[in-house]
Structure 1
Amino acid sequence: MPAADAREAPGADRDADDLRLLVAAAESAADIALGYFRRDPQVWHKENASPVSEADYAVDRHLRETLLAARPDYGWLSEETEDDPARLDRARVFVVDPIDGTRGFLAGSDEWTVSLAVVEHGRPVAAALIQPATATLFTARAGHGAWIGGRPLALAGARDLGNATVAGPSALTARLQREAPGVRAAGYVASLALRIAMVADGRIDLAIAKGKAHDWDIAAADLIVVEAGGVLSRFDGAPIVYNREHPRHGALAAAADPALLARVAAILA
């Protein structure tokens, strides 16, 4: 739990209470996921050929039971739970990816996360993103900042594309490099949530994603990068709104500077 939150009186703020709940759930979920990590879990494939493992299902079940027991009036949206449209009528909704970056998880990479957010009025208000293999915890609360391991984040990334370090699909990164030869490729990070959070903690300057992201991929990371002082934006300029009937988004990018994102969108759109 971030030190700034720990000093607040319990119950003093609903977002703070929800953040405490998310942090506890993320940490226990991380322990469950690590119990399957590099231990050859059973794997199935969805209709779109993306893999899902018994670890995804175990973490999803734990989070659903834990979070909804604490907040039975909240809605639920998770990659690994059949969607219930009742969430559309709830004031607050848990948006969860039990394991973001399942391919990386199955390959034994440390680039996977457990992503948790609370969404209200279409925007995340509390977020916890944990990278279990490295014990790295990102947190954020709307209007109160973002933290990594309890340390406040203050984004100071590149504002010139020619000096930017970029993580994203190789084809998109190559297109940016043709327009701005100074662009440095950081490689592909399996977890999109982690890719965006890496902008918030300064490891990279720009994170890009093709138009396949869903609410559960980006809600927590969105709040983290915004509260750190950055921007997450769709290439087409449409606002990112969560908990809609169809929770999917177009191609997007995160960076420190809106002007940098506008140039990226002009190149890649």
Structure 2
Amino acid sequence: MQAPDLALITDAIRMAGRVATSFTGPAAQSWDKPGGAGPVTEADLAVNTMLESVLRSARPSYGWLSEETEDSAARMSCDTVFIIDPIDGTRSFVEGSRTWAHSVAIAHHGQITAAAVYLPMRDKLYSAALGEGAFHNGERIAVSRAPELNSAQILATKPAVAPDHWPAGLPGFTRSHRPSLAYRLGLVAEAKFDAMLTFRPTWEWDIAAGALIVTEAGGLCTDKTGAPLRFNNANPTLNGVIASGSLLHEQVLAALGPVPPAAP
């Protein structure tokens, strides 16, 4: 009998942690990808190879989209697709930090149905299956119910607080940062932070798993305009991401919207 998808990817992502931690981050061979796409290491490639072998052997009919595999149009003909980031936060891995993560998701007709994010150096496993809730190390989690954007704790990079994004002025929230987008989404899901924002075009593999974990924790995860996220696109990018509880989500969208004209 075939194991459920979530059990499959949870087992695989823990194996990924063992593979990655067999390398010493700063000593691992690394190089820059073409076109300024960031660094990659031998650990990224080893994890990608292991995950592809394990997951595609178990689900040969599923397509494959991974940061470290050359993309193929073949996945577009598949109803169900693995979406993988072997190491999210490669710069942190190279620096010997503990804040990098593995991210594994399954999308069915564009909707994420199973997801896992694992930080092996912190032994933090976030997981979710569609309609079954979100969990951190086996304990059910829920997003923050923070009601006020001006006092919120938000994960965002410096470009997200640039004045041109906020026509009525930057709200008074407190900004923090973590290198891994998947980890940021996990932290929002377990209410360690109230929201996560990024307004740049964002790769699907950075977001896919964390998006389901946030929504199954009771939050909202949309693009920067409030539109629903859809995965396994021909161009596998998203138009930014806003992840938070429903009250803050509304306020963020309002603050990002156009300033109404002054009354005559």
Match of 1:148 among 130, 136, 140: 136
* Paired residues for 1:123-134 under 5 Å: 123-134=111-122
Q: CA deviation at 1:68?
A: 0.3
1:106 aligns with 2:97: no
1:192 aligns with 2:181: yes
Report the secondary structure of 1:213's partner residue: strand
**2:232 matched to which residue of 1?**
243
* Paired residues for 1:1-269 under 5 Å: 17-49=4-36, 50-173=38-161, 175=163, 179-181=170-172, 183-186=173-176, 188-257=177-246, 258-266=249-257
Q: Is the 8 A contact 1:255 1:261 kept in 2?
A: no
C-alpha separation between the residues in 1 aligned to 2:223 and 2:255? 10
Q: CA deviation at 1:236?
A: 2.3
Report the secondary structure of 2:97's partner residue: coil
C-alpha separation between the residues in 2 aligned to 1:174 and 1:84? 36
Report the secondary structure of 2:161's partner residue: helix
Q: Is the 8 A contact 2:161 2:170 kept in 1?
A: no
C-alpha separation between the residues in 1 aligned to 2:220 and 2:228? 12
Q: Which amino acid aligns with 1:57?
A: L
Question: 27-36 vs 254-263, which deviates more?
Answer: 254-263
Question: 19-28 vs 165-174, which deviates more?
Answer: 165-174
**Identity rate, percent:** 36
Q: Is the 8 A contact 2:202 2:239 kept in 1?
A: yes
Total equivalences in the alignment: 252
Q: Which amino acid aligns with 1:77?
A: L
C-alpha separation between the residues in 2 aligned to 1:178 and 1:264? 8
CA shift digits 1:153-210 (9 cap, x unpaired): 12233131111001111232365795323x1122x21111111111101111111113
TM-score of the two chains, using structure 2 as the length reference = 0.90
Q: Is the 8 A contact 1:159 1:260 kept in 2?
A: no
CA shift digits 1:236-259 (9 cap, x unpaired): 233311011111111221111231
**Residue segments in structure 2 that go unaligned for 5+ positions in a row:** 259-264
| CA RMSD in angstroms, aligned pairs only | 1.8
Q: Is the 8 A contact 2:225 2:253 kept in 1?
A: no
Q: CA deviation at 1:235?
A: 1.6
Report the secondary structure of 1:133's partner residue: coil
C-alpha separation between the residues in 1 aligned to 2:39 and 2:25? 15
Q: Which amino acid aligns with 1:130?
A: Y
Q: 1:253 to 1:48 in 2, by over 3 A?
A: farther
CA shift digits 1:61-104 (9 cap, x unpaired): 00000100111111000000011211111111000000011111
Q: 1:125 to 1:264 in 2, by over 3 A?
A: farther
What stretches of structure 1 move > 4 A for 4+ residues in a row?
Answer: 174-178
Q: 1:235 to 1:210 in 2, by over 3 A?
A: closer
TM-score of the two chains, using structure 1 as the length reference = 0.88
Q: Which amino acid aligns with 1:48?
A: G
